[in-house]
A = this chain, B = another copy of it.
Amino acid sequence: MSILTNAADVLRCFTPQRLELTLTDTVSLLGAPKSSTSRLLRAMRDAGFLELAPGTRRYRPGILLFELGQTYRRASTLLARADEAVGRLSRRFGHTGYVSVLDGADVVGVAHHEGSSTLRVGTPIGRRLAAFASSTGRSLLARRTDAEVRALHPEPLRPASPHSPPDIAALIAMLAEVRRQGFATSLEEANPGVGGIAVAVGEAGTGEEVSLNLVYPVATVSITERQAMLNALQAEALEIATLVGDPWHAARKAA
C-alpha cells in the first residue's frame, strides 16, 4: 500500500477511451477519499508523472512516461527483431502487423505496422485484449502449460465473440492445436471481418516472449495469399527463434 501502488492505480485509470482524468473522475473510479486523491494527483504532477492539460483541470500522462514508453520498446532486442520482421511482412503483404506481449491474461500490442492496402484493419497499439480471444494471445498462451492457462483464467470465460473459445476446455483444446501447428489463427474475433495469424517467439536466456501477428480482411484475401502470409510469418519467426535460441521452436524442429 505504498503511495506507489496508488499512483500506479491512478495511471491504470487511463485507457485509450479515457485519455485525461479529472480529480472527481479519479475519485469515482478508485473510490478513494477526495482529499487523498487530490494530494496524490498533485504529487504525481510535481514528480512529472502527470501534467495538467493546459488551461484545464484535467490530468494526463506526462512526457516522462512517454519517454519511458519508448525505452520499454528499445530495451528488448527480441522486440526490436520482431518489430523489424513484422515491418517486412507488413510491407510485403500490405496488411497490418503487430508485435504483442502477454501481460497477465491480456495481450498488449507494443508495435504495429499499418498495412498499405486500401482495406486497413486493426486496432491501435497500447490496447489491451483478452489473450484467449485473439490469435496473438493464443499463440502466447500456447507456450504456457495447461495448468498455468487455467490459473490465469477464472471461470467462466467471457468470450467477446462467437468465434472465441466459449470455455476453458475449448481454449485448452485450441491451444493444443496451436502447439501442434506452430501457429495460431483467428477469424472475426476481436474485429468483425478480420482474420489473424500469429506465431510466438521466446528468448532462451531471458524467458522473454513476443508474438508476431498479421491481420487481414477476410473478404478480400484468398486462401493462397493467406497461406503465403503464414509461410512468411513462420519463416520470420523461425529465423528469430534460432537467432535467440528459442527452446520451443528448437523442440518443434527436432520433432
Contacts and interface: CB of A to CB of B under 8 A. Distances in A.
A148 to B, nearest CB: 15
Interface in A31-75: 43-44, 46-49, 53-56, 60-75
B56 A61 contact: no
A110 B60 CA distance: 15
Contacts of A12: 48, 64
B47 A4 contact: yes
Nearest to A106: B63
Contact of A60 (B72, B101, B108): B72
Interface stretch (A200-208, A211-219, A241-249): A200-208
A5 interface: yes
Q: What is the copy number of this chain in the assembly?
A: 2
Nearest 5 interchain pairs by C-beta: A69-B69, A70-B126, A54-B207, A19-B75, A66-B72
19 contacts: A2-B43, A2-B46, A2-B47, A4-B4, A4-B46, A5-B46, A7-B47, A8-B48, A11-B68, A12-B48, A14-B68, A15-B71, A20-B75, A55-B205, A63-B103, A66-B126, A67-B128, A69-B69, A70-B126
Interface of A: 2-5, 7-8, 11-12, 14-16, 19-20, 43-44, 46-49, 53-56, 60-75, 101, 103, 108, 110, 124-126, 128, 205-208
